[in-house]
Each structure stands twice: as structure tokens, then as C-alpha cells.
Amino acid sequence: MSEITIYHNPRCSKSRETLKLLQDNGIEPRIVEYLKHPLLPTELLDIADQVGVALRDLLRTKEEAYKAHDFEDVLDSPEELAKKLSEHIKVLERPIVINTESKQGRVGRPPQNVMEIL
């Protein structure tokens, strides 16, 4: 099993660029298309921990779903935020790459950010 996981949205250009960057460097990551397979709240909290940020820092605040589902109401409760994000996963920043061996992660914006954890 690959030690690199990418939480990927194939419709996102940055996500595609990050996946290509990994592959161009000889890495075949485990690809999780999170829009097809939404993540559990505990998984979201683990991802934020591995990236080294609060879960609230992994939100796409300009996404329409962010405003439509009142994310502002749960920003101070990581558990409630994780639950809401799990239900409205489109708000999750993308792509996110996790090195499962070192338990480190990075957001691929820009894609070169992920090279720090390889």
C-alpha cells in the first residue's frame, strides 16, 4: 500500500496538478476522491492534525456551500465542525496530501507544497 495519500477532486486543476507532480516524481499515491466517498468526522480531524492546522483552516470559505450551511456557527467546536464538514465535504480544501508513514500532510496550493513531506 502506498504511504502517500491524496484527497483528490479530479475536477480541480490544482488537484490534478498535484497528482501529476507526485506521479512525475515516481509516486503512485492512494487516491481518495472525497466527493464520491465523504470522510468521517474523525478522519477529518486526523487530516487536520497531520497537516498541522486547525480543521477550520482547511475550509474553502468562499465556497457557496460554506455560506449556505452556516459553517460560521460551528467554527469554535472542532467536533461539530468535523461533523458538518463530513456532511458537506465540498467545503474541504483541496488537494490534501498525507504521508502516512511520517504522519505529515500538506495542502497542494501550490502543488509544490507537498514536496516538503515526501
Residue with cell 504511504: 3
Catalytic residue annotation: 12
- What's this model's pTM, rounded to 2 decimal places? 0.94
The 10s digit of each residue's pLDDT in 16-34 is: 999 999 999 999 999 999 9
**pLDDT band at residue 1, thresholds of 50, 70 and 90?**
low
Nearest alpha carbon to residue 81 among 64, 69, 63: 69
CA–CA separation, 89 and 72 (whole Å): 15
The 10s digit of each residue's pLDDT in 53-106 is: 999 999 999 999 999 999 999 999 999 999 999 999 999 999 999 999 999 999
Residue with cell 480544501: 93
Reading the block at residue 85, the C-alpha cell is: 464538514
**pLDDT band at residue 45, thresholds of 50, 70 and 90?**
very high
Q: Is the peptide bond before 78 cis (omega within 30 degrees of 0)?
A: no
The distance from CA 33 to its chain's CA centroid, rounded to whole angstroms, is: 10
What is the DSSP secondary-structure string of 17-39?
HHHHHHHHTT--PEEE-TTTSPP
